[in-house]
Amino acid sequence: MKVANILLNGVRYESDLGENAQAQSQMSMKLLCVAIYRMPPSLRSLCTNHFLGWLSFEGMLLFYTDFMGEVVFEGDPKAPHDSEAYQRYNAGVSMGCWGMCIYAFSAAFYSAFFSLTCFPAILEKLEERFSLRSLYFFAYLAFGLGTGLATLSTNLYVVLSLCVTYGVLFSSLCTLPYSLLCEYYQSPQFCGSSEDGTRRGKGVDISLLSCQYFLAQILVSVAMGPLTSLVGGAQGVMYFSSLMSFVGCLYSSLCVVYHLPPPEGEPPESETQPLLVHI
């Protein structure tokens, strides 16, 4: 009898745990949806800008070796394997891998530049010369020029040297948005208050930023196939990446908020508001 009571109590305890876990899961999903729905305009603009950056970068990254083989080396991946056109395509893909190696070194070097800003003395000097807006603008502009000029040029060394600009955008996408989000959380107006239930979670907002990377991958995977078929080669993807980068360049300069408005009674800073009203 005692054994039966123990087993029954154990089943009831596990049932109560399951109901509590289910209720907490439903509450968490509800809070997540509320956090997304009540996204501040500044965060919405930052997510849009982040999405544009990954959209342009992923298009280049997924099709760069095809671009080298088809456009720069004038090869044909559909040609017979013993043909000269197919050999040229393979040579172009191999050279494209070296271009990706240059991009990786560029990203590592530019990331090291950002890591130097951890030292207060260097950070103070950099802030006197460069603002976060100018760094964002430079990254998008460099990538847009790099992908655009690579499509227009047929010189192999010029195309390879332009891979340096790809690392600049990659490093910026991995650092600047999250640094800017941390700046947002310095403002009580952005964080909200736990008393009235409007306080935001930093982990949720970081996840929202990171989701733009996967959304861009989905869109690139769906849209780039028909685009290459329509244009007839991988150069269409590079044009698309260049165009999206220039759009991101303008959006980062005109619509992204780099400092939230100060509380009432305090003078505004130089970069408090975007140059254009939020869309």
- Say what the pLDDT of residue 149 is: 92
- Say what the pLDDT of residue 75 is: 86
* Contact between residue 172 and residue 178 where contact means Cβ atoms under 8 Å apart: no
- Say what the pLDDT of residue 1 is: 52
Mean pLDDT of successive 10-residue stretches along the chain, which has 279 residues: 45 46 52 72 90 92 89 87 89 91 89 60 55 86 92 87 91 88 80 60 83 91 83 84 93 85 53 46
Query: Buried b / exposed e across 130-158, counting CB within 10 Å, b at 16+?
Result: eebbebbbbbbbbbbbbbbbbbeeeeeee
* Contact between residue 117 and residue 171 where contact means Cβ atoms under 8 Å apart: no
For residues 124 and 211, what is the distance between their CA atoms, to the nearest angstrom?
A: 32
- Say what the pLDDT of residue 57 is: 94
What domains are there in the chain, each with its CATH number? 43-254 (1.20.1250.20)
- Say what the pLDDT of residue 248 is: 92
* Contact between residue 144 and residue 246 where contact means Cβ atoms under 8 Å apart: yes
- Say what the pLDDT of residue 165 is: 92
Residue among 107, 219, 213 nearest 170 (CA): 107
Listed in sequence order, the residues at least 6 apart from 250 whose beta carbon sits closer than 8 Å to its beta carbon are none
DSSP 265: T
Type of residue found at 6: I
- Say what the pLDDT of residue 129 is: 66
* Contact between residue 141 and residue 80 where contact means Cβ atoms under 8 Å apart: no
- Say what the pLDDT of residue 76 is: 86
